[in-house]
Structure 1
């Protein structure tokens, strides 16, 4: 067995958060390949609690210090998007491998700065874990093999329970577009990444981004915040393959499931999933109009929900680090996706079609 990769989690909190819900259970399930070396949080008290409950060796109140820890191989950045830049740059400057949650930065300038900082000894992965889901990977392989023939049309509906009429106190910052973590970037970005993985890069887009609920009540209080980001997206476009696509992204939806249908000259494939956190969070199903191989087994059988595809992502990253390959989505993919989202926003703002 290869030496286990030592992981430091930036954003360790035993009471809440994506690290607790997704990263920690994924790493524990993959204990033959990874070990949790350290955690950091905004206070030493929170970090110490996370260390005790998660089983880490060390706890930091300073995330930069964790990023510079010589005993860490991979720095996993799971804090809020505005905090990504400083930690990622520190980790890359220290020669670490980096797993950064999506979105990479608040804007394209931050994403470019972080991408430019990658040194020859560091490998990076962006947290678009839906791209590691077996259903997405097998669908992409079927497209690449020519099983569908020439691609014609893709129809996608992508929903999330987030960005509804209410938000938890911890999600109040998601309503402010300036923070870079919005319905467009998170639910929209994850979905657009899958669409490009199947139908190729967008070459032209038209869009309408709408804020249907302009005021959001904060749960457990009388506070109301203004929403400056969209909570509904409509995107039409054409891909490099010639395929045309339609996408609806809907916030505040819990009674409709994710659905993707891709039609080619030789048949169709359909991907479906029902997790309220978005398509990238849970198990996905793949159907085809023609005989196809069963889905590749999950690397972490027995997991469900948030850790499921994160575990798939970690295992692919480990293989890349050990082999020197680059099969996982990296920061270049993150920059491409950020540029796509900027173009969609521009098309929606200007009310006209734009080319990429």
Structure 2
């Protein structure tokens, strides 16, 4: 099979999601080749090409138009801040390029719809969004347990989690998380990923839902990499408290709450219960980011008839091998790698259409709380 040639927008020479999550798989892949890099300047792109030892023939661009016009690019990968997605990827969509863009698709539902419109108008064959928890072996094991009837009919489900972000302090690099207008925050990113894998396991769509959004901590301190406060009392407008309950289209009543800050000392940052007629499943982890994963995440099953609780084994594959050169201990690269692996076979992880549906749910949640959109 011919190599899929990537034009990468946002592969910075500094630490970041693209470097830690995308590059480890792509560097060693026999299916993909990075043939172009686009950052904020040609100089920045050249620095990334050199740092990551990409081919000397890799094109360096300082404007997304360069990637759009490059006939050698088959797939555009975008990993920039969400409020820059529309301006950054529109030209390549108009050029009919295939796409892999990080979630959220746009900074608002209006932008997400506009990007979907461009995808359809220009007959883009493949356009996927990084809601990659669907690729997680743990999440898929959980889904298979439910579908196999391991706990009988599901009666209800509750999920409680703490985001870690959104507490008293925030790394200075993600100051924008506190600005609701940017569109990348705990509601759109943390909750957006969570509500997607929640439905992936239990069924997409809602018979009914209602929710509460609140910004309870309206000022935060910014810290550097060593935890030293570099700026105090920074205003925050994004919400840090999310409570949602309702009934899924599958008929399952649910309750989901997510708040900012660290979990109670000594307790998991994610506690997800799925209660059935013959048993109950408990999923725990250090936090809600199952799309990334944690060393301590696990599934436990309580069998009512036997009155036993056991940990369920989750199969591992070659992508579960530690990648020391990657950020986040290699976890960030695993499910992203699985998305790429599936895409090379023609499998779609999360389409633009799917992503717009997630945006529309967030929009409805915001409307319930007097906001215009999310």
Query: TM-score category by the smaller chain?
Result: 0.7 to 0.9
Cα separation, partners in 2 of 1:278 and 1:5, compared to 1, 3 Å: same
Aligned partners of 1:299 and 1:311 also within 8 Å: no
Which of 321, 329, 332 is equivalent to 1:302?
321
TM-score normalised by the chain length of structure 2:
0.84
Shift of 1:146: 4.2
For 2:318 and 2:126, locate their aligned partners in 1 and report how far apart those are by CA, in whole Å: 21
Match of 2:115 in 1: 114
Give RMSD over aligned pairs.
2.3
Q: How many residues align?
A: 342
Question: Match of 1:285?
Answer: 298
Change beyond 3 A, Cα 1:299–1:158:
farther
Query: Which of 233, 236, 248 is residue 239 of structure 1 equivalent to?
Result: 248
- Give the 3 Å change call, closer, same or farther, for CA 196–16 of structure 1 in structure 2: same
Q: Identify the residue that residue 273 of structure 2 maps to in structure 1.
A: 261
State the match for 2:208 in structure 1: 204
Per-residue Cα deviation, 1:97-142 (whole angstroms, up to 9, x for no partner):
1111010001111111111222445201111111110111232233
**Residues 146-185 of structure 1 correspond to what in structure 2 (within 5 A)?**
146-185=149-188
The answer to whether residue 123 in structure 2 is matched with residue 143 in structure 1 is no
Q: Post-superposition, which runs of at least 4 consecutive aligned residues in structure 1 deviate over 4 A?
A: 289-294
Instruction: Check the 8 A contact 1:281/1:308 in 2, yes or no.
Output: yes
Distance in 1 separating the partners of 2:31 and 2:47: 24
Deviations for 1:24-43, whole angstroms, at most 9, x for unmatched residues?
113224x1222222221112
8 Å Cα contact 1:81-1:106 kept in structure 2: yes
Secondary structure, in 3 states, of the residue corresponding to 1:305? helix
Q: Could you say which residue in structure 1 is the equivalent of 2:190?
A: 187
Report the equivalent of 2:327.
Answer: none
Question: 1: CA distance between counterparts of 2:65 and 2:140?
Answer: 35
For the 8 Å contact 2:301–2:312, the answer to whether it is kept is no
Shift of 1:337: 0.7
Q: Which one of 327, 340, 349 corresponds to residue 361 of structure 2?
A: 340
1:273 aligns with 2:324: no
Deviations 1:145-203 (A, max 9, x none): 44443221111123222222222332111111111111000000000001111222222
Match of 2:60 in 1: 59
Preserved contact between residue 93 and residue 124 of structure 2 (Cα < 8 Å): no
Q: In the alignment, which residue of structure 2 is the partner of 1:318?
A: 344
Structure 1's unaligned 5+ residue stretches are 351-356
Paired with 1:76 and 1:49, the residues of 2 have a C-alpha distance of 18
The 3 A distance-change label for structure 1 pair 37 and 268 is farther
- Distance, in Å, in 1 between the alignment partners of 2:315 and 2:5 is 27
